[in-house]
Every structure is written in structure tokens, then in C-alpha cells.
Amino acid sequence: MNHNKTVAVIGLGFVGLPLAMTFARKGFRVIGIDTDLNKINHLRNGVNYLTGLDDPELRSMLDTGRFVASNRYDPVEKANSIVICVPTPLNSEDQPDLSYLIQAGEEISRRIKQSQLIVLESSTFPGTTREVLQPILEKSKLLVGKDIFLGYSPERVDPGNEHFSLEQIPKIISGVTDTCANAVYQLYSKVFDQLFMVSSTEAAEFTKLLENTYRFVNISMMNELATICDSLKLNIWEVIEAAKTKPFGYSAFYPGPGVGGHCIPVDPLYLQWKAEQLGVKSSFIELSKKINNQMPEYIVQKIAEHLPNKQLKDANIFIYGAAYKRDINDARESSAIQIMNLLRNAEAAVSYHDPYIPSLQVGGEQLHSQELTDQVLYAADCVLILTDHSTIPIQKIVSSAKFIFDTRNVIKESANHTKIMQLGG
Ligand code: SAJ
């Protein structure tokens, strides 16, 4: 079968939707499937819910039929290839939750056709494609490598990154068998500028976890060094800038109020879980998790210690930034949520402003982004900067706020202001 005509993309989130649109741009007919009817209705109206904007390109793809969106799995029968981009979160015990993947596998298995290629893109522990997904697909009595083809290619979407288009990001690919690997190559070579084939799906699964565990560990190291700089009365941001002058052997990471998002705090714990299954320790991941998870408490403790003439319980704390990182509209796993909970537990009054996050569930209550007025800034006992959105009105905050805690080194001349405290500064 020619795998290069119709592609079904399962899961239309921050990974699947950009991928579906990239396939459509490259001339494929794309069937986008997501069980969230709200997403499907947005798409059918030409609205890209990732940006929240009307998307003329998306509308044109839908109007010309190059991209059809459905909340049902039946259309996968018409696809030559199926790419799975469903969430692989953690459960409440910080362990892998493959329920979305298993559900997708079962739905595909009931409709799978001879010669179809299935590629898993969701981040997951080594062995998932072969040990979890393959048996589900073979319930159809079609055998992987003979009747159907199965591979793994880790997603490398970087939300908010304007510098790389999806097809420019080198793509790791792999197959359960050599024939499968070749089928994955035939499909992805039509879309991505650079492919990198590895020897097994396990190697590809591990590659993705390595990339994000590398970030997780390095960020935690910077968080710990920031607390040491606080005690030494040194400025970690100055030291990082100095270290960055080294043209080799150093890559910069930065301290922050914690590690949010659906990748960095999650992927390393998938690797840790797999290592534990094999009786192998993962000390770096365990320590990094502990350090990163302590940052919200460290931030709140610093506020309690340095609030001018106030106890936390009598204080009004105004937070700038709820998104887990700059310039995106996602607050999943954002440390802002933990920090708001800790402050409210200390009986402080908490409000926030984030141009990307209009409302937020905090401790069972729906908080709404407040307008950023001089009055609101002046009324706060502490303005806490948690997200360094590009549009942050620094001068407005500096001129109106009585006391500022900057956890992102947004206010560069903070040393000149006695009312500004910096994380690691
Ligand atoms: N963070 C720090 N210090 C840093 C870098 C990040 O505190 O030096 C924090 C961020 O504020 C955020 C969290 O860590 O809360 C994660 O930030 P991130 O920059 O890693 O952003 P993500 O979660 O969107 O990660 C994605 C990942 N992409 C994929 O998994 C395909 C990651 O691999 C990318 O390297 C990353 O984007 C990126 O480079 O922006």
C-alpha cells in the first residue's frame, strides 16, 4: 500500500494538530481524530484552539477537504497511515498513565486494515510500542511486520517556538522490524527535512526521554545553585551570563519558580518508572524531582521572610504570570498553581494577571486574570513575577509596585531598586 496518501492523526493537541497541518501542507489528505468534540467543533469553524485565533490556513484545509476533523474513529479505515499523538500523562502516584494510548490502540485495532502503517509519537517509556501497543494491534489477527507496520517517532514540538517549523526539526524514526522502519521512513521523508533512524523503537523512546531528562536535571541544578547564591548574596543571573561566555562545554539553564508543562516534569518520571521496574536506581531523576518540586515552597518562604512589615496571613499578593512558560496559553503543571495554593493556605489574599491565561482552577476555586492597573499593583504587598511573557510591562510594574519578587530575572536593573528581590539575586 502507498502510505503516502491519506494520514490519520489521532489526538489533536499541541503535538497532533501542528503535525496534522504539516502533513496537509505537504499534500497529504489528513483525517484528524480527537474524542474532544469541543476541539473538533473549533476546527470545523476554522479556529485553531492552540493559538485561540481564527486560522485562515486551517480553514482553507478544511474547506478544500484536505483536512477533515472527526471525534469518531471510523474514518481511520480510510487512512494509509495512522499517527498516534495522544497524551501520556502521570497518574496521581506519579506513574505512567497509558490509558489514552491503550484506548486509541483498541479503537484502531478494531478498524485496522491490511498494510496500514501505525506510528506512535507520544512520549513514553522504552518498550511501550513493542510491549503495549503491538499486542493490542495484533488482536486484529494482522501481524506487525507482515500484514501491518508499526514504528515510533518521538514528537519534538516546542510550544511557542517561532524559530523552528515542525518539518525543520530533525525527526528520530524507528520501526518494530526493518520493514516497519522502512515504511516509517517512506512516510516521514515526505514531510521532514532531516530524519535520523535508530535501531529500535526502544532506542527512539529512550532518546526522547534522554532529551527531556537532560533539561529536568539541569534546571534542578540551577534551582539549587540559585538558593546557594541567595545565601552567598551573589547574583546567579550574573554568574550564568558570565559562564555563557565560555564558547564550549557549557549550555545555559536558568532557575525558576518550578518546572511546569506536560513534557519536562513528566518524561523523566516515565524513565524512572521503567528503571524501577528493572530494579535500577535513577538517583539524578529522584533528586531533581525533589529540588524542582521544592521551588514553590522556597518562593513562598522568601516572600514570608522579606515582606515589608507584614505577615503572609495579612498580605495581598499579586502574581504576574500563571502559564508554565513564556508566551504560551498553557498552565498545566505550572508552579504558579502550587504557589497560589501555598499562599492561600497561609491565608494570604492572592490574585493574578496573565494575558494568556484568562482563568485558572486553584484549590477548587476558579480564579480570573485581573486587569493590570497601577492601583492593583500599588495595593499589593508583593508583586510576584512567575512567568516572563515577552509583553510584560516592566516599567509599569516597577513604578507602581511597592515590593516585587522577580523569579525570572525580568527586571534587569533590579540591583538598583531596594524594593525588588530576585530569585538567586
Ligand atoms: N525552565 C526553567 N529553566 C530553564 C528552562 C525551563 O525553569 O532553563 C522551566 C520553564 O519555565 C517551564 C519548564 O521548565 O516551566 C519547562 O520548560 P521548557 O523550556 O523545557 O518547555 P517545554 O515544557 O515546552 O519543553 C518543550 C520540550 N519539547 C519537547 O518535548 C518536544 C523540550 O524538549 C524542549 O527542549 C523545550 O520545549 C524547549 O526547548 O523550549
Give the tens place of pLDDT for each residue, 216-243: 999 999 999 999 999 999 999 999 999 9
Do the beta carbons of residue 343 and residue 350 sit within 8 Å?
yes
| 161 Cα nearest atom in ligand 1 | 40
Å from CA of 418 to ligand 1 middle: 31
Q: Which residues line ligand 1 (CB under 6 A)?
A: 155-159, 161, 211-212, 215, 219, 253-254, 256, 259-261, 263-264, 324-325
Cell of 418: 531596594
Measure the CA–CA gap between 330 and 370, rounded to whole angstroms.
17
Mean pLDDT of 69-80: 97
What average pLDDT does the segment 25-47 reach? 94
158 pLDDT band, cuts 50/70/90, is: confident
Which ligand 1 atom is the nearest neighbour of the CA of 155?
31
The 10s digit of each residue's pLDDT in 31-40 is 999 999 999 9
Nearest-atom index, ligand 1, CA of 264: 23
Rounded to an integer, the average pLDDT of 247-261 is 97
Name the β-bridge partners of 81.
7, 117
For ligand 1, pick from 165, 207, 215, 271 the residue to mutate: most ligand atoms within 8 Å of CB.
215
CA-nearest of 152, 137, 61, 153 to 105 is: 137
**Residue 413 pLDDT grade (very low, low, confident, very high; cuts 50, 70, 90):** confident
- Phi first, then psi: give them for residue 138, nearest 5 degrees: -80, 0
Distance of CA 142 from the midpoint of ligand 1 (Å)? 39
Residue 159 reports pLDDT greater than 80 = no
Query: pTM of the prediction?
Result: 0.94
Q: Which pLDDT score is estimated for 1? A: 46
Name the grid cell of 275: 528503571
**Nearest-CA residue for atom 29 of ligand 1:** 156
Position 332 pLDDT exceeds 60: yes
Let me know: does 345 contact 314? Beta carbons within 8 Å: no
Q: 2 pLDDT exceeds 60?
A: no
Counting Cα atoms < 13 Å in the Cβ hemisphere of 211 gives: 14
Measured distance CA(86)–CA(34) in Å, rounded:
9
Distance of alpha carbon 13 from alpha carbon 49, whole angstroms: 9
> How many percent of the chain have pLDDT more than 90?
90
How sure is the predictor about 414, in pLDDT bands with cuts at 50, 70 and 90?
low
CA 15 / ligand 1 centre spacing (Å): 15
Mean pLDDT of 66-82: 97
The sign one gets for the Cα dihedral 279, 92, 342, 264 is positive
What is the mean pLDDT of the segment spanning 376-385?
A: 97
What is the Å distance from ligand 1's center to 306 Cα? 29
**Three-state SS letters, the chain:** CCCCCEEEEECCCCCHHHHHHHHHHCCCEEEEECCCHHHHHHHHCCEECCCCEECHHHHHHHHCCCEEEECCCHHHHHCCEEEECCCCCECCCCCECCHHHHHHHHHHHCCCCCCCEEEECCCCCCCHHHHHHHHHHHHHCCCECCCEEEEECCCCCCCCCCCCCHHHCCEEEEECCHHHHHHHHHHHCCCCCCEEECCCHHHHHHHHHHHHHHHHHHHHHHHHHHHHHHHHCCCHHHHHHHHCCCCCCCCCCCCCCCCCCCCCCCHHHHHHHHHHHCCCCCHHHHHHHHHHHHHHHHHHHHHHHHCCCCCHHHCEEEEECCCCCCCCCCCCCCHHHHHHHHHHHCCCEEEEECCCCCEEEECCEEEECCCCCHHHHHHCCEEEECCCCCCCCHHHHHHHCCCEEECCCCCCCHHHCCCEEECCC
Mean pLDDT of 271-286: 96
| Mean local confidence (pLDDT), 123-152 | 98
**Mean pLDDT, residues 76-97:** 97
Give the mean pLDDT of 54-78: 93
CA of 290 relative to ligand 1 center, distance in Å: 18
Mean pLDDT of the chain: 95
The protein residue whose alpha carbon is closest to atom 20 in ligand 1 is: 264
Atom of ligand 1 nearest to the CA of 253: 8
- Tell me the pLDDT band of 415, cut-offs 50, 70 and 90: low
Would you name the residues annotated as active-site residues? 263
pLDDT at 324 over 70: yes
Please give the average per-residue pLDDT across 407-414, as a whole number.
88
Is pLDDT at 176 greater than 90 in this prediction?
Answer: yes
Asked if residue 203 has pLDDT above 60, the reply is yes
pLDDT at 3 over 70: no
pLDDT higher than threshold 90 for residue 110: yes
Owner of C-alpha cell 499593583: 377
Q: Is the pLDDT of residue 4 over 70?
A: no
- Reported as a pLDDT band with limits 50, 70 and 90, residue 160 is low
Whose C-alpha lies nearest to ligand 1, atom 14? 259
